[in-house]
Amino acid sequence: MKTDFSKFPSISGSNSYSMLCEELLINGSPTRSSYTVCQHTVLAFKENRLPPGSFDSCATAIRAGKCRAVKMMLEEVKTGERIYFIDGLEEMRKLREEIESRAAESATRNKRAATFGSRVTPKPATKKPTVLVDIYAEAVNAEVNKTEENT
């Protein structure tokens, strides 16, 4: 018998709703469980598809009428609406936007300020003193002339 999932409004891979389950214990402590996984477990139990040894504590809770997921599923089927549903894809989109926004703020805040050296305006280029160049040129010419006279 194939399950008609359309009867269960919040049974979806994108449903990130989870709950603390008092029946499913790990090391003696209640465990946080995905509601969608619980729904699939309940349906597998009802259709005798639950493999032996799998989800034993869930099967025991379902038989005893202690499974919260069964009650939640009935409530949703009666109303025909998603009551226990958190759109995980939407949550991830919001988180991504928040991370990108904070990264942009951080980048703006941590932008290096201009250093002192970059704020100092350079003096306009001054004309090189031609007098020094001429003196040097005269000294070189005098030396050359001496050498020529001595030869």
Specify the DSSP element, H or E, that contains 31. Answer: strand 29-34
Give the pLDDT band of residue 138 (cuts 50, 70, 90).
confident
Question: What is the model's pLDDT at position 151?
Answer: 65
Residue 87 DSSP class: B
Helix boundaries (H) for 30-80: 35-46, 56-64, 68-79
Count of CA atoms in the C-beta half-sphere (13 A) of 138: 6
Question: What is the model's pLDDT at position 117?
Answer: 57
